[in-house]
Structure 1
Amino acid sequence: MKNTPTKVKVLSIDIGGSHIKATILNEKGELKMDYDKVVTPAPASPENLIKAIKTLVKDFPAYDYISVGFPGYVKNGVIKTAPNLNTKLWTGFDLSKNLAEALGKPTKVVNDADMQGLGVVDGKGLEMVITLGTGFGTALLMDGHLLPHLELSQLPIKTDRNYDEYIGEKALEKHGKERWNKRMEKVFEILKTVFNYDTLYIGGGNSDKLTFKLDKNMRIVTNADGIKGGSRLWLSDAESRITKATPTK
């Protein structure tokens, strides 16, 4: 938030396959109101989604900036993929520009797992964030800094299935919690071997369905924790290191 007042308010929005959530944060990532949500429209076209966001935030308190976590690959605010919303509807759409025009405030858009990562990490070593929801989201951070985003959910885990299809919402519904947990144990072993992370954070609506014991360096985090990352998108590097939101214990 270089060259801006220190006391600012950020509208932080988390776009998911089932719901759109939003709240107002201060520059430290502290919630200034309980987060509210609406159902993600179907079809989830850019026009319908922006309309839903406008409806959701119309009675929110005033804010200075907007941060958005989007479930797909985002480059400079432009959507490249949207596996759980319909990539054909979104490819090449500048969500940052269009939402800024719709709401009248400067807007930044990043991958949703990246934004969650900014909200929950301790800033120590290599930290990985995954989200278990409609699909499988991932983010990597080194000493609190986001690393280039990789759509790991689209990698094959079997010859005919990627990670989204293997452990996403549809797989959980189809195969049940017991089989899904066995798959999750396999996925965790792969992540541990490939990334050698210092800490793994597990978020998303299905994280509470994990039934096996987690390693000491694995933590469950909430969507409320993750949405706090919206404030850090607007901080300079120095500010981010000093005023980052208090991590979940």
Structure 2
Amino acid sequence: MEHKATPEHTYAYGVDVGGTGIKGGVVDLFTGQLVGERYRIDTPRPATPQAVAEVVAAVLNELRQRPGMPADAPVGVALPSIVHHGVARSASNIDPTFIGTDLVALLSQQIGREVTVLNDADAAGLAEAEFGAARGVAGSVLMLTLGTGIGSALLFNGELVPNFELGHLEFNGQIAERGASASARQREGLSWKEYAQRLNGYLEHVQFLFSPELIILGGGVSKSPQKFVPLLELETKIAVAEHANNAGILGAALHGSRQNS
């Protein structure tokens, strides 16, 4: 199975909204590489929809003013929210007033052109499917981002099934991300071996429910894969995400390109 970038576009703009920073970049859709440096502005406090929209617009304005950058390239934005038909249905590390906000309308109006929006874990999954560890993998692939919580993306033959919130599964009597996220390891002072055992239990549960061909681990904890990945024992193949810092930007740009093709 081979995925190819949309031939109508060579470049697209991607913006990744996080709890501490809003990062953007110009993405070469054929190589999966950033064109020039990514640009970052601190996430505003409070991170209300209008305040975030203004920063997203400022990030894009800087990127579009760079020499040789096409003004009409597609724009995609990734946010830490369930995004259903363009509307935010949750808010993680951003202001609760995001819930119910028409993100597509808000951002498109602020930027002055059509924008596509998706969940940040979904964006990371798209990036790995097109340019990373899931490239060419047939069947079901689960992407899990282990950080403050657990973000997740499900891909089937490279196509995204949006808003697959596996961090909110109940596991061992609590929400899974409460006990198996990277922040849980730090909060409870777990050793890497202890954390690997706990994470392994959660992954076994997910493996049983969905029978994926591959599980990709990303997020902050993936910066130290050698400390816990070798301790995991699963039937499913495990891979480490290849685009940790730029995955949201890459996936957002790719989504923008596909939706505008």
Q: Same fold (TM over 0.5)?
A: yes
- Root-mean-square deviation (Å): 2.6
Question: Residue 175 of structure 1 is aligned with which of 188, 213, 216?
Answer: 188
- TM-score w.r.t. the length of structure 2 is 0.78
> Could you tell me whether the CA contact under 8 Å between 1:26 and 1:231 is conserved in 2?
no
| 1:1-249 map, 5 Å | 6-28=8-30, 29-60=32-63, 61=66, 62=69, 63=71, 64-86=73-95, 88-121=96-129, 122-123=135-136, 124-159=138-173, 161-168=174-181, 170-178=183-191, 179-210=194-225, 211-212=227-228, 213=230, 214=232, 217-221=237-241, 222-235=244-257
Shift of 1:24: 0.7
> Could you tell me whether the CA contact under 8 Å between 2:12 and 2:257 is conserved in 1?
no
Residue 194 of structure 1 aligns to a residue in which SS?
helix
Query: Which one is further off, 173-182 or 126-135?
Result: 173-182
Query: Which one is further off, 147-156 or 54-63?
Result: 54-63
Q: Percent identity, please.
A: 28
Mapped to 2, the partners of 1:47 and 1:234 lie a distance apart of: 21
Gapped runs of 5+ residues in structure 1? Answer: 240-249
Residue 43 of structure 1 aligns to a residue in which SS?
coil
Residues 205 and 75 of structure 1: is their aligned pair in 2 closer, same or farther, counting only changes over 3 Å?
Answer: same
Given residue 204 of structure 2, which amino acid in structure 1 is its aligned partner?
A: E
Shift of 1:145: 0.8
Residue 223 of structure 1 aligns to a residue in which SS?
coil
Residue 192 of structure 1 aligns to a residue in which SS?
helix
Equivalent pairs, count:
233
> Could you tell me whether the CA contact under 8 Å between 2:74 and 2:257 is conserved in 1?
no
Shift of 1:226: 4.8
> Could you tell me whether the CA contact under 8 Å between 1:41 and 1:49 is conserved in 2?
yes
> Could you tell me whether the CA contact under 8 Å between 1:130 and 1:201 is conserved in 2?
yes
Residues 235 and 55 of structure 1: is their aligned pair in 2 closer, same or farther, counting only changes over 3 Å?
Answer: closer
Mapped to 2, the partners of 1:230 and 1:111 lie a distance apart of: 9
Mapped to 2, the partners of 1:51 and 1:189 lie a distance apart of: 42
Gapped runs of 5+ residues in structure 2? Answer: 1-5, 130-134
- TM-score w.r.t. the length of structure 1 is 0.81
Mapped to 1, the partners of 2:21 and 2:182 lie a distance apart of: 14
Given residue 220 of structure 1, which amino acid in structure 2 is its aligned partner?
A: V
